Amino acid sequence: MDALESDDENTRQIAGMFLVRKGERSRPLLESAVEKGRGGIVADVLDDLDGATSDLAELEELARSENPKVAEAARNLLEKRKGS
């Protein structure tokens, strides 16, 4: 998970790629990271894994989270989903 937050873009991309390749086996780790406030790229990788299968209602609920990082990540994903 630390590699996803690296300052090096290549490191972030490779880490994300490996997590997406692992598919459903990565989901618990990614979801746990988002719940602990490690949003941003972690949420983006989870979104890549999910494709369009995430429930918008669930994302809207997360967007109201008391954890600002979780709320921001969820809002960003909602904007991304609604824009596509």
Report pLDDT digits (tens) over 27-73: 888 888 877 777 777 777 777 776 644 567 777 877 888 888 778 87
Q: State the pLDDT at residue 84.
A: 56
Domain count, the chain: 1
Nearest partner of 80 among 49, 57, 48, 58, judged by Cα: 48
Residue partners of 62: CB distance under 8 A and separation at least 6:
34, 70, 71, 73, 74
Element (H, E) at 84: none
Least confident of 12-16, 20-24, 46-50, 63-67: 46-50
Q: State the pLDDT at residue 54.
A: 55
Q: State the pLDDT at residue 53.
A: 47
Least confident of 1-5, 48-52, 59-63, 77-81: 48-52
Domain housing 42: 2-83
